[in-house]
Structures are given as structure tokens and as C-alpha cells.
């Protein structure tokens, strides 16, 4: 089949490349001439493990191409996937739909035959209705149908998520459209994968609800981690015990500095705003949003506490800037408010991230970016691990201690064993595990 992907950002590029890998003829459309030229040459604008090689191999095989010409991309196309951004509006947090609707208008003007238009972008409930209206009132004398086909890609493992999905959701009331999209996904690589055929509005809501629930799991375990610190528990044991319950599962139960990235922050805001528009209040989601924002800001206070209340004039090494490992995505990263708050407190910041320093440099100022973790830690009064990169987990801790001014390690990802770190001579602070300077609840009660 011939498939067009409109938008060559994170979702569009992964989807288009994977559809090509599965044997379809794919053309990705983007209005950025430099990006299109780079992609034709096999260079990609984002870091996603395995994606660059997959792009190059499918371009070489002639299954994947890139263009600025939407009309050309739509010639003979069976399905056109809209995969442009839906960032939150500054005014109210609602998803900004101007890019999606602009693409809908362009498809209506450029399409030359029957076409299934697929919303791959994460969009509020009712978006498909508006896209259909645009196509119907602007388009030519041929058949259109609009399908919601949400993506469930995790940055860092997006290729596996696409090629080995938990489920495929096809939201449409049109038998012809459902048949076309079923054919797109009906290749050998997707046999055995559950396919949920549902209404378009249900599919639109399903994506937001999924992300809101996962954000809630993260926020819940972060609050339980705080309780563990207060009573002398270990959040790793608590999370493992919770995760062994088959009704819950272990994923998204790793305590840390709060969630960030391209999906959870904007999607929780968007579903909350949608609910209010329909006179429904999602109190749990609203609480998740507020608790997560408060947590990210509070991380700097933890560093301040570990430094005896003073960081002015001190050098703090930040290891990890991306919101998670295996990506260069800085969107809503917990590292941003952490670095900015520490700078407000008077600290000098040295930082290192394996992939995200270029993007971080567009956001953070007066930060000394370093060549590796040991370089960042050289002369530091404290090292703070913010992102769970494997290379940080595998650091030589005695070497790290040797280059630091003071052996203070603040671990926001629980990368290390408490005993191992202390045996290497560090003062160690982590998440959801009591430090030796903090009394347990039982000790406090005994003292009373």
C-alpha cells in the first residue's frame, strides 16, 4: 500500500519508517526544506535508538522517501496520517489544534482521489469531527473518511513499541475506512496483535486517558517515596511488592524527580481542559498535574538540604538533562527547574548528558556543559543524577569521588546501592530511602 505521513517529527518519522520497514511504500511530508534534505540523506533530527539505521536502510531500499510536496505525496495514496504537533496553548493548557487543521485544509485542497485520513497526532475528543467537516466542505468530488489511530510510543523504545505493540486502536464508524486501516496494519509483522475497533471519539479519549493514568502511577509512587523516607521504608521494596500484583504491574513505578517529556505534561493538561469544557471535573488528574509540578520544583530544595542549606558559590554537577534516558528530549524535563532554581540560589552548574546537551543549551543559560560525567564532577561540591542513563549506573564511583571537591552524591533515580556508595566514601542522598541523617518515625516517637 502507499501511505503518506504528514509531519516528520517524532511520531511521524517513527511511524513512517516502521511502516516502510513492514513493506509499505511511504512518503513523509514536511514543510522544513532543510529537514527534508537531511532526511533524504539518512540524517535524522532526533535521537531515538535504532531509528537512524532504519531510516537509511529503508531510503536505500526505495520504500521510504521525504518531500515538501504534499500533492505529490498524496498521488495514489491509500491513507494519509496526520502526525503534526498539538502543543498546549499558553493561555489555558488546551491542545493547540492549528497545525492539525491546517494539514486538513491542505489535504482537502491537494488530494486527487479517495483517501482515508488518519489522526495519528494526540488530539482532543471531537477533532475527527472537525477534520471531517473541513474535508467535506473544502475537498473535491471524491471520498474522504477520517479515522483516529492513536500512537502509544515511548521515547527510547519507540521502534519496538511500534513494531511490537500492545494493541492497535482503529477509531471509525466507516466500514470502508476501517478496512483500509486494517490492511495497513494487516501485514505479517502485526499478526496476533489485539486490534480494538471503536468509535472515533472513544479512540481520541483513549489515548489521553492512557497517558493520564500512567502519569498518575508515577505521581503516586513519588508520593509514597516521600512517605518511605519519613517512616524508614525503602521505596524499591514497596514498588516491587506493589508491582507483583497482576492488577497493577511494575511499570511506571520508579520513584524520581517527576515526569516530563512530550506527552504526559501536555496530555494531562489537555484531558483536564476537555473535561471542564464538558462540565466534568477530573479531580485525580488535576491533582496529578499540581503534585508533579510541585515535585519538580522541590528537587532543588533537596539539593539545598543535602548541602546544609547553602549552595551559593558552590559547584553542582548535574548528570542527565533529558527527561528520561535514551532520548535527547528536553521538553518539561525535571532538570530545567532544578538547574534554574540552583542558579537562583547562587550555585555554579556543570552538566553532562549523553544526547541532550544541544537541546539543553537552547533552554538553559550560564551552564558549563562537559564532555563526560567525570569532567562534570571535577571540582564539584555535589553530584546530582537526574536522568537514568546506563552510563551513569555503570560509573566508577571511586574515580568519581577522586575528582570531586566534596564526596556528596544526590541520586534522584536510585541508581546505586546505599551500602556500595557509602563504602566508596560518599555521603549519599536518594529518593524514598532514608539517609543516615534523617530519623525514622519510630526513632522520633521513641525520642518523644
pLDDT band at 440 (very low <50, low <70, confident <90, very high): very low
Domain around 39: 2-197
- Residue 166 lies inside a defined structural domain of this protein: yes
Query: Which set of grid coordinates corresponds to residue 91?
Result: 493561555
Cβ-based burial of 101 (10 A; exposed 0-12, middle 13-18, buried ≥19) = middle
135 and 250 together in one domain: no
Reduced to 3 states (helix: H, G, I; strand: E, B; else coil), residue 417 is coil
- Torsion sign over Cα 6, 8, 9, 15: positive
The average confidence (pLDDT) of the chain is 93
Asked whether the beta carbons of 62 and 24 are under 8 A apart, the reply is: no
267 and 156 together in one domain: no
Scanning the structure block, which residue is given the C-alpha cell 477533532?
Answer: 127
pLDDT value at 189 more than 80: no
Annotated catalytic residue, options 18, 228, 263, 370: 263
- Residue 437 lies inside a defined structural domain of this protein: no
pLDDT value at 136 more than 80: yes
Scanning the structure block, which residue is given the C-alpha cell 471503536?
Answer: 198
- Distance, in Å, from the CA atom of 334 to the CA atom of 321, rounded to the nearest integer, reads 8
Q: How many domains does the chain divide into?
A: 2
126 and 266 together in one domain: no
142 and 246 together in one domain: no
DSSP 327-338: ----TT-THHHH
- Residue 50 lies inside a defined structural domain of this protein: yes
55 and 171 together in one domain: yes
164 and 312 together in one domain: no
Q: How far is CA 115 from CA 26, 75, 147, 374, in A?
A: 15, 10, 11, 55
Q: Who contacts 160 (Cβ-Cβ below 8 Å, separation ≥6)?
A: none
239 and 290 together in one domain: yes
pLDDT value at 118 more than 90: yes
Q: How many C-beta atoms surround the C-beta of residue 343 within 10 A? A: 18
160 and 255 together in one domain: no
The pLDDT score that the predictor gives to residue 90 is: 81
The pLDDT score that the predictor gives to residue 444 is: 44
pLDDT band at 139 (very low <50, low <70, confident <90, very high): confident
177 and 65 together in one domain: yes
149 and 216 together in one domain: no
**228 catalytic per annotation:** no
Q: Who contacts 71 (Cβ-Cβ below 8 Å, separation ≥6)?
A: 110, 112
Q: Which helix (H) or strand (E) holds 237?
A: helix 235-243
Edge-to-edge strand list for the sheet holding 315-319: 367-369, 348-352, 315-319, 382-385, 408-411, 427-429
Asked whether the beta carbons of 232 and 440 are under 8 A apart, the reply is: yes
Instruction: Please write the tens of the pLDDT for every residue from 366-408.
Output: 999 999 999 999 999 999 999 999 999 999 999 999 999 999 9
pLDDT value at 439 more than 70: no
The pLDDT score that the predictor gives to residue 41 is: 85
Which of 142, 172, 197 finishes a domain? 197
pLDDT band at 188 (very low <50, low <70, confident <90, very high): low
Helix/strand number for the chain, H first, E second: 19, 14
- Distance, in Å, from the CA atom of 145 to the CA atom of 177, rounded to the nearest integer, reads 6
Instruction: Please write the tens of the pLDDT for every residue from 195-212.
Output: 999 999 999 999 999 999
The pLDDT score that the predictor gives to residue 251 is: 95
226 and 180 together in one domain: no
CATH number at residue 354: 3.40.50.720
239 and 372 together in one domain: yes
Exposure string over 277-299, b if 16+ CB within 10 A, otherwise e: eeeeebeebeebbebbeebbeeb
Which of 197, 232, 259 finishes a domain? 197
User: Over pLDDT 90: what percentage of the chain?
Assistant: 89
Maximum Cα–Cα distance for the chain, whole Å? Answer: 82
- Distance, in Å, from the CA atom of 270 to the CA atom of 288, rounded to the nearest integer, reads 13
Q: How far is CA 55 from CA 22, 68, 84, 157, in A?
A: 13, 17, 19, 15
The pLDDT score that the predictor gives to residue 435 is: 60
Rounded average pLDDT over 283-312? 96
Amino acid at each position: 500500500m502507499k501511505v503518506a505521513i504528514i509531519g516528520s517529527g517524532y511520531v511521524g518519522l517513527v511511524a513512517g519508517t516502521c511502516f516502510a520497514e513492514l513493506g509499505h511504500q511511504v512518503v513523509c511530508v514536511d514543510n522544513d526544506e532543510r529537514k527534508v534534505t537531511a532526511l533524504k540523506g539518512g540524517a535524522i533530527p532526533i535521537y531515538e535508538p535504532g531509528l537512524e539505521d532504519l531510516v537509511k536502510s529503508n531510503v536505500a531500499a526505495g520504500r521510504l522517501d521525504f518531500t515538501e510536496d504534499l500533492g505529490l505525496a498524496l498521488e495514489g495514496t491509500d491513507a494519509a496520517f496526520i502526525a503534526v504537533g498539538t502543543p498546549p496553548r499558553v493561555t489555558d493548557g488546551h491542545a493547540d489544534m492549528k497545525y492539525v487543521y491546517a494539514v486538513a485544509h491542505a489535504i482537502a485542497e491537494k488530494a486527487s482521489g479517495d483517501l482515508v485520513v488518519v489522526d495519528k497526532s494526540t488530539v482532543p475528543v471531537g477533532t475527527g469531527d472537525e477534520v471531517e467537516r473541513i474535508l467535506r466542505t473544502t475537498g473535491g468530488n471524491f471520498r474522504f473518511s477520517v479515522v483516529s489511530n492513536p500512537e502509544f510510543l515511548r521515547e527510547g523504545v519507540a521502534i519496538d513499541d511500534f513494531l511490537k505493540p500492545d494493541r492497535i486502536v482503529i477509531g471509525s464508524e466507516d466500514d470502508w475506512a476501517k478496512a483500509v486501516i486494517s490492511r495497513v496494519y494487516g501485514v505479517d509483522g502485526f499478526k496476533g496483535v489485539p486490534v480494538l475497533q471503536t468509535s472515533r471519539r472513544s479512540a481520541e479519549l483513549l489515548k489521553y486517558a492512557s497517558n493520564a493514568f500512567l502519569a498518575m502511577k508515577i505521581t503516586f509512587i513519588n508520593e509514597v517515596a516521600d512517605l518511605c523516607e519519613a517512616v524508614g521504608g525503602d521505596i524499591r521494596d514497596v514498588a516491587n511488592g506493589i508491582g507483583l500484583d497482576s492488577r497493577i504491574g511494575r511499570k511506571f513505578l520508579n520513584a524520581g524527580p517527576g515526569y516530563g517529556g512530550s506527552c504526559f505534561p501536555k496530555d494531562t493538561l489537555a484531558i483536564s481542559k476537555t473535561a471542564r469544557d464538558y462540565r466534568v471535573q477530573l479531580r485525580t488528574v488535576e491533582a496529578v498535574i499540581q503534585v508533579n509540578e510541585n515535585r519538580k520544583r522541590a528537587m532543588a530544595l533537596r539539593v539545598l538540604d543535602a548541602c546544609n542549606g547553602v549552595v551559593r558559590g558552590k559547584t553542582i554537577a548535574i548528570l542527565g538533562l533529558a527527561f528520561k534516558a535514551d532520548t535527547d528530549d528536553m521538553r518539561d524535563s525535571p532538570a530545567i527547574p532544578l538547574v534554574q532554581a540552583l542558579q537562583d540560589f547562587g550555585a555554579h552548574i556543570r552538566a553532562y548528558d549523553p544526547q541532550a546537551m544541544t537541546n539543553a543549551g537552547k533552554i538553559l543559560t550560564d551552564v558549563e556543559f562537559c564532555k563526560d560525567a567525570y569532567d562534570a564532577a571535577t571540582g564539584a561540591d555535589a553530584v546530582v543524577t537526574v536522568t537514568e542513563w546506563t552510563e551513569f549506573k555503570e560509573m566508577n564511583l571511586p574515580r568519581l569521588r577522586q575528582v570531586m571537591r566534596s564526596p556528596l552524591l544526590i541520586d534522584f533515580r536510585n541508581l546505586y546501592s546505599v551500602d556500595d556508595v557509602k563504602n566508596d566514601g560518599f555521603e549519599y542522598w536518594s529518593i524514598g530511602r532514608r539517609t543516615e541523617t534523617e530519623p525514622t518515625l519510630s526513632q522520633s516517637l521513641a525520642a518523644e
